[in-house]
Amino acid sequence: MSNANEFLIDNDTGDDFAVHIEPECFVVQLKQGECLTVRDKYSIAPVTLRIGKDELGRTVISIWPGDGDVVVEKDGVNVMDVG
């Protein structure tokens, strides 16, 4: 059985912050007003979002996949395909 989630990470703060897509640690900068679309197809374990701080005290969101495929898009482009 397969499940699917789709959600947005929308930066509605006054600050820029980094989003890390794990375990490869693709880093995407999210400026004020920008958003990411996260699509997650999984069987049992969905994607996990971890919110923390980097060594300079800036907000960092980490996207950790569960047991399925995760696609993260910014402006319609898969950020893991951009090199």
Q: Strand 59-64 to strand 17-21: parallel, antiparallel, or no bridges (unpaired)?
A: parallel
61: helix, strand or coil: strand
pLDDT at residue 83 in the model = 56
Q: What is the pTM of this model?
A: 0.86
> Which residues have CB under 8 Å from 72's CB, separation 6+?
19, 21, 26, 28, 36, 37, 38, 39, 63, 78, 79, 80
> Residue 68 in contact with residue 30, Cβ under 8 Å?
no
Question: Which one, of 62, 69, 19, lies nearest residue 40 by Cα?
Answer: 69
Summarised one tens digit per residue, pLDDT across range 9-62 is 999 988 888 999 998 889 999 999 999 999 999 999 999 999 998 888 888 999
Structure tokens at 81: 């395909």
